[in-house]
Amino acid sequence: DHYRLQREKYFRGKHSKGKIFEKLGLCAQIKFVRFSMNLLPSLKDSKLFITDTTFENVPVTIYQPKRTNPGLRKGVLFIHGGCGIFGNKRFYSALCCYLSRESDSVVVYVDYRLGPEHQHPAQLSDALATTMCFMKQAKDYGVDPNHIILAGDSSGGILVAMVSQKLAEIGNQPKIRAQILIYPFLQRMDFMLPSYFQNQYGPFLTRNMVLCLGLKFINKECVHRKKLGRNAHVPEDMKQKFKKWISADLIPGEFKARGYNPPMPAPFSKELYEITKLNDKTTQSPIISEDDIIKQLPET
């Protein structure tokens, strides 16, 4: 929690300043936030070996405990968040050092390609390629291939979930021991669920920020955020099809205790539907995958 709060405080400050600079025409918000992240110091840890290398041409940073271990260690492959457009190893180095040091594990940080320059499925392709490479080479890094954990925060969480599902579809792979999904984004069918309104003003990401950053990832303007936030991107037949899995009616009353009075959904917008590529099966929400895939997933 300490590292998470530090990162979130830093990010929100730079995000706000970047928004001001963008409105003044001085600098694009995305470029300012990335520039600020690159100014962070590259941390070192006296108890760890920290190595930069590549897995399948994807840059990775490996954190390995220096103290000897009689057997093979656990491995943690960490996929960072940042709405698919932010994040680098400097921003996450303190967390990766902490995970490796405190859990006596080998941690692999994945520096996947970012949007909007690289659109989906570039991020998934990088995450999947590095995962499969690490699983094959695990013993070279002193890691038990049967004890590899995938972890990710925010948009990194959805990549972890999608990688786990892809591995289940591919088959003939060593099983992932577990997946850790830290406040993940697992569906984009319904932005009017209770949590979106109960947490719309923070404490860190506001509802508007999430919608805007999601639109920026697909290289679109924030002017669409209000309609998107009222599910204008989902056609009626799709709403009916998936409401048995994703619906406020399925959420227990205790999770609506802070009040839940959503506005009426906006009329369907074919433009938004096409912008969000909701009809593309490769970008579907992992939470609504078929049961035969879900039941093969690792402990979560």
Blockwise average pLDDT, block size 10, the chain, 300 residues:
62 77 83 87 92 98 96 98 92 94 98 94 96 97 97 95 94 90 91 90 82 88 92 94 90 85 93 83 76 92
Is residue 229 within 8 Å of 264, Cβ to Cβ?
no
CB atoms < 10 A from the CB of 44, how many?
9
Instruction: Based on the residue annotation, tell me whether 195 is a catalytic residue of this protein.
Output: no
CB atoms within 10 A of CB 252: 7
Q: What does the pLDDT read at residue 156?
A: 96
Closest CA relative to residue 83, chosen from 13, 183, 191, 200:
183
What letter would DSSP give residue 299? B
Pairs from 30-36 (Cβ < 8 Å, separation ≥ 24): 30/85, 30/86, 30/116, 30/216, 33/86, 34/86, 34/88
Looking at residue 115, its pLDDT comes to: 92
Cβ neighbour number for residue 288 with a 10 Å cutoff: 15
CA distances from 2 to 9, 101, 150, 206 (A): 11, 16, 21, 20
pTM value? 0.90
In angstroms, the first-to-last Cα distance of the chain is 19
User: Residue 210's closest CA among 52, 50, 6, 11?
Assistant: 11
Rounded Cα distance between 187 and 242, Å, is 11
Domain 40-182, second-level architecture: 3-Layer(aba) Sandwich (3.40)
Those residues with Cβ within 8 angstroms of residue 256's Cβ, 6 or more apart along the chain or in another chain: 194, 248
From start to end of the chain, where are the E strands? 48-55, 58-65, 73-79, 106-110, 143-153, 178-182
- Of the residues 154, 164, 269, 285, only one is catalytic, namely 154
Q: Where are the beta strands (DSSP E) in 80-158?
A: 106-110, 143-153
